[in-house]
Chains A and B, each alone.
Chain A
């Protein structure tokens, strides 16, 4: 073999036209070019070396000596890090899902993920990689058994506000009703921005050992963008425009949360429940097919977000039952903030009353319906709190919310 290589390295080579001229112009010798080609370099590689400014002296040092061939050696040490070589995940009826590839040790979700880098779970770590500073690295603090499936569901059930809403069904509405719809849309788009920012801030804190959760939350950010987009579009598409911003008390309370499970309690459970009712009412009182579709799609999305929240809190309490009272405290403080927000948000309450009654001339009927709406919001919130195994809070609600629970929950 060595003799064959030596013979190849001294065999005559053809010097392509143009190459020698370029080499000589750059200070190389013909012998140097010939040596490179005999060593096994391709013509294109020598062109690249010349174009990159490699000097004759540098070429002299880097090219193999006359009579020698370029030799590349494989290390292949990196292949030793591949765990469970030969694994074959199989597609399911839903395609090759995240859950379907969680097989063998890849399906082992550790209780603690010590690695502080972006190394994917199942890969082999190397020493010296800089920390990314993930602060949530224990499974109990973010996990939900349904996260992988909720991610797939979000991807499969995605919709496009620009095309999947029949915008051409929008018809002019009485001025007071259009203004009210625009006010509601303004606040809904604002809530979406809050979700976007809150999740964006927290994603970098959540460890990659639990990529299923991070991927699901990425879809929630995408959903929040949709929500912002679609309500802004509705406000601007029918002769109206944006209304007043919301008081933002509850929003600031969510943004200020210092613990991921606290965020989940406030954002997924509380805010999610309130939005679920609002979307359900929105679909009910829609004036056209476009609004029907908007609210129905948003209703689907927010219910998926609630599912993550309920499942995470169940898991959290299973692992950390001693922190149940702490979560109840988060709920109590959140309820106060939500009640203050509602109390101060005259534009939203009046806008809802006008939409629910069909016009400001029936405002008494409208406010009756708003009371029923608020009652249903709180009942839905209590339902999800019970589902999350945080108990029945009916008797612990602050008076400003408890007053609505006594209302008849019919529209």
Chain B
């Protein structure tokens, strides 16, 4: 399997196809949210859309897109790499690398939002987002 670069639309499309074809992902229930991804030190930004039982879209984004999203996950590249490498190694995030744990541990929160109330969607659908990233254990990632 050829490695796919993170972060890229192609990388998230791979994950999107994996979870959308996974009945277990649907069992987590509905999720309606727009989630941005930001690599703070490279400036790379993407926007993911979740509707009903699926991730319905991934695209390149601007800061304005992220500000308009429900929330966005922002970390420097090394932290993204650490999280995804951990997921690949364990098949899923271990106790120290879940989204909520990273959010709590960082001096600046992982989940950012222009609208402080809409940030709650990070908590409300947390298991869905966790399983989304956990699915990356099934692909080869290049950084």
Contacts and interface: CB of A to CB of B under 8 A. Distances in A.
B100 A283 contact: yes
Contacts of A287: 95
Given A296-B130, A300-B124, A310-B117, A281 B28 contact: no
Given A283-B100, A307-B120, A383-B116, A297 B52 contact: no
Interface stretch (B67-75, B101-109, B134-142): B101-109
Given A280-B104, A280-B123, A411-B105, A153 B30 contact: yes
A387 interface: yes
A303 B120 contact: yes
B49 interface: no
A411 B105 CA distance: 7
Contacts of B101: 283-284
Contact of A156 (B29, B95, B98): B29
A276 B123 contact: yes
Given A93-B51, A296-B126, A410-B107, A387 B117 contact: yes
Contacts of B95: 286-289, 292
A304 B105 CA distance: 24
Given A93-B53, A158-B29, A280 B120 contact: no
A386 interface: yes
28 contacts: A93-B51, A94-B30, A153-B29, A153-B124, A156-B29, A157-B28, A157-B29, A157-B30, A157-B125, A158-B29, A276-B123, A281-B104, A283-B101, A284-B100, A284-B101, A287-B95, A296-B100, A296-B127, A299-B100, A300-B126, A300-B127, A303-B124, A307-B120, A307-B124, A310-B117, A384-B117, A387-B116, A411-B104
Given A153-B124, A307-B124, A411-B104, 18 more contacts: A92-B52, A93-B53, A157-B29, A276-B123, A283-B100, A284-B105, A288-B95, A289-B95, A296-B98, A296-B100, A296-B127, A299-B100, A299-B123, A299-B126, A303-B120, A303-B124, A306-B120, A387-B117
A289 B124 CA distance: 19
A352 B103 CA distance: 20
A317 to B, nearest CB: 15
A308 to B, nearest CB: 12
Contact of B52 (A93, A276, A386): A93
A281 B100 CA distance: 9
Interface in B40-94: 51-53
A336 to B, nearest CB: 25
A187 interface: no
Nearest to B56: A93
A146 to B, nearest CB: 11
Interface residues on B, range: 20 to 34
A300 B33 CA distance: 14
Interface string B112-135: 000011001001111100100000
Interface residues of A, number: 33
A94 B127 CA distance: 18
A299 B128 CA distance: 13
A212 interface: no
A383 B29 contact: no
Interface string B19-31: 0000000001110
A141 interface: no
A284 B104 contact: yes
A223 interface: no
A292 B52 contact: no
Contacts of B104: 280-281, 283-284, 411
A292 B98 contact: yes
A388 to B, nearest CB: 9
A386 B120 CA distance: 13
A152 interface: yes
Contacts of A384: 117
A301 B30 CA distance: 13
A284 B127 CA distance: 14
A307 B124 CA distance: 9
A330 to B, nearest CB: 20
Contacts of A383: 116-117
Contacts of A411: 104-105
Top-4 shortest CB links A-B: A157-B29, A156-B29, A387-B117, A93-B52
A287 B94 CA distance: 11
A178 to B, nearest CB: 17
Contacts of A92: 52
Given A281-B104, A286-B95, A300 B116 contact: no
B124 A304 contact: yes
B117 A300 contact: no
B52 A94 contact: yes
